[in-house]
Amino acid sequence: MLPKVKSSRNAATRTIDLIVFDLDGTVIDSAQDLVEAARHSLRQVGSGDRSFSFIRSCIGGGARNLLLRCLDDDKKDRSDAALAYFRNYYEENCTQHTVLYPGVADVLRFYAGKKRLALATFKIRPATSRILQSLGIADCFDVLVTADDVRQPKPDPECIQTILRLTGLSAEDALLVGDTPTDILTGKNAGVATCAVTYGIGTRKQLSDARPAFIIDDIRELKEIAPI
């Protein structure tokens, strides 16, 4: 088990009243559905296919950024069309292969009603809501902030700032849990404590280099970081 990394004494000892979760790579393993939606979009605009591992490595920052990383150079001017194809396909097929990571349901139920729980994702709201409903965890979250609610993707702190405003809590009360260096930078930009999980998209070295307050291998370790 990777030891918990403490970047500061304050991060290790502060009381956490709000836990903000990233979605893809932290709460859900959605890689296959995202890859299939991206491949569908690439085909529709005449761009070449990409490998599963390549497309998976491009996940993060919303569908537009995913597609821009995958489109052929001479097809990048068709990103708007590709995005429209992606959204239509993904909204209809976003629950085909997507599952919760081990321990996530247990952790969410452990905290539900005892701490404020929020979700910060640049996935569109219809797909987000459909996924949460299909996995039986929609009722665990007090606040959802999606691509439809903010203008700027991570690492801009707008999503976290929106959650803080909606909950009436301060940055000192919050912990962001994510699986990529971008998530960690988002939390730092918003002034909240950060916890990286190692089972998602980001590699252990990338996450360590991002210097989160905590690093965990299993989401259930979160109970030790933010006890009730």
pLDDT tens digits for range 123-181 = 999 999 999 999 999 999 999 999 999 999 999 999 999 999 999 999 999 999 999 99
Residue 1 has pLDDT above 60, yes or no: no
Q: Is the whole model's pTM more than 0.85, yes or no?
A: yes
Structure tokens at 82: 């590709």
| Residue 154: C-alpha distances to residues 22, 34, 103, 176, 188 (Å) | 10, 18, 25, 12, 11
Residue 46, phi then psi, degrees to nearest 5: 80, 20
CATH number assigned to the domain covering 31-93: 1.10.150
Q: Decide if 209 is catalytic.
A: no
- Domains of the chain by residue range: 9-29+98-225, 31-93
Residue 83 has pLDDT above 90, yes or no: yes
pLDDT at position 12 is 52
pLDDT at position 61 is 81
Residue 19, phi then psi, degrees to nearest 5: -115, 120
CATH number assigned to the domain covering 9-29+98-225: 3.40.50.1000
Residue in 22, 29, 33, 179 annotated catalytic: 22
- 132 Cβ neighbours under 8 A, 6+ residues apart: 119, 138, 141, 144
Residue 67 has pLDDT above 90, yes or no: yes
